[in-house]
Amino acid sequence: MATGPALRPGSGQAVRARARTGSGIVARVSPFRASVPLNDDWEHFELTIAGGIATVRLNRPEKLNALTFSAYADLRDLIAQLPDREDVRVLVITGEGRGFCSGGDVEEIIGPLRQMGVSQLLEFTRMTGSVVRALRESPVPAIAAINGVAAGAGSVLALACDFRLMAESASFAFLFTRVGLAGADMGSAYLLPRIVGLGRATELLMLGDKVGAQRCLAIGLAHDVVPDADLADRARSLAQRLAEGPALAYSTTKSLLTRELDMALGPAIEMEAVTQALLMNSEDFEEFYAAWSDGRAPEWQGR
């Protein structure tokens, strides 16, 4: 069977195509993506990438950043692309204006849903759930910078992130029962009890009451609450720490936390043993020892 020319490390045909970004992070494009391009231009939210940080800003402030059918689909597709981009090491999701995300748009989503049959409704609910699944299964750490109300689907979007930073004026509201639907939606009944416990999750999902930032902090739903004016800087600081740190260690930790949620102790310990052995052969682990020996800070490569 005929084959193409051999690939040489460092050549234009090498396994990784490299491009130096402004942050000094090396962007590498896998040759296994086939013809599907990476997209930097999204119609239904604003995306910026700088210094290893991808920031998604929901930008319908007049609707408190309510989601449309297309916004759900774009979020799902973007999150799926992020692991293929080595110029992205962390994701930040926030909203423009007074709201983080008020959920599904009543006029553009809830109205049309009433005209659909069960099969179409199932397609929709599976699509919304796929956004949460993509967030949890992506190895890229995700930060929700919650600048206002996070309600309905917006509350679950924030819930699915790894870190939730809240402005003092921000709030959560799992509103699904308030519109006659199950409080268990988009994975909320799976995720929320694991974060705040079954008792509090039952209260929040059944009653759908507004939960202020300080109570979110007290029950573990928020990682930190900051003055409104400081939220962007606090999110940027955390994102920068993750982007500049040992990205391979961070992403592997996230992946194991997700996969071990439903595993017995024995298989979990075995998975961690195998993973740790592999990472002990990584360039970052070697760099740590070299930096320690030289008395300097490590220069993490995420490999």
Q: What is the DSSP string of 89-143?
A: SEEEEEESTTEEE--B-IIIIIHHHTT--HHHHHHHHHHHHHHHHHHHH-SS-EE
Q: Which pLDDT score is estimated for 41?
A: 80
Largest CA distance in the chain: 67
Do 265 and 240 belong to one domain?
no
Q: Which pLDDT score is estimated for 39?
A: 77
CA 172 from chain centre, in angstroms, equals 18
Domain that holds residue 284: 247-294
Tally Cβ neighbours within 10 Å of residue 10.
Answer: 8
**Mean pLDDT, 10 residues at a time, the chain of 303 residues:** 36 35 45 66 90 95 92 94 91 96 89 91 94 96 97 96 98 95 96 97 97 98 98 97 95 95 95 95 93 94 87
Do 222 and 272 belong to one domain?
no
Do 104 and 172 belong to one domain?
yes
Do 58 and 180 belong to one domain?
yes
Do 98 and 173 belong to one domain?
yes
Do 193 and 159 belong to one domain?
yes
Q: Which pLDDT score is estimated for 16?
A: 33
Question: pLDDT tens-digit profile of 235-254?
Answer: 999 999 999 999 999 999 99
Q: Is residue 103 classed exposed, middle or buried when 0-12, 13-18 and 19+ CB atoms within 10 A define those classes?
A: buried
Beta bridge partners of 32: none
Angle at 53 between CA 50 and CA 55, to 5 degrees: 95
Of the candidates 137, 145, 24, 41, the one whose C-alpha atom is nearest the C-alpha of residue 86 is: 24
Do 130 and 265 belong to one domain?
no
Residue 53 lies in a domain: yes
Of the candidates 58, 129, 134, 49, the one whose C-alpha atom is nearest the C-alpha of residue 91 is: 49
Q: Which pLDDT score is estimated for 38?
A: 78
The CATH number of the domain where 36 resides is what?
3.90.226.10
Do 208 and 278 belong to one domain?
no
Do 77 and 209 belong to one domain?
yes
Q: What is the CA radius of gyration of the chain?
A: 21
How many angstroms separate the CA atoms of 172 and 144, rounded?
12
Residue 48: φ, ψ to 5°: -130, 145
Residue 11 lies in a domain: no
How many angstroms separate the CA atoms of 175 and 264, rounded?
33
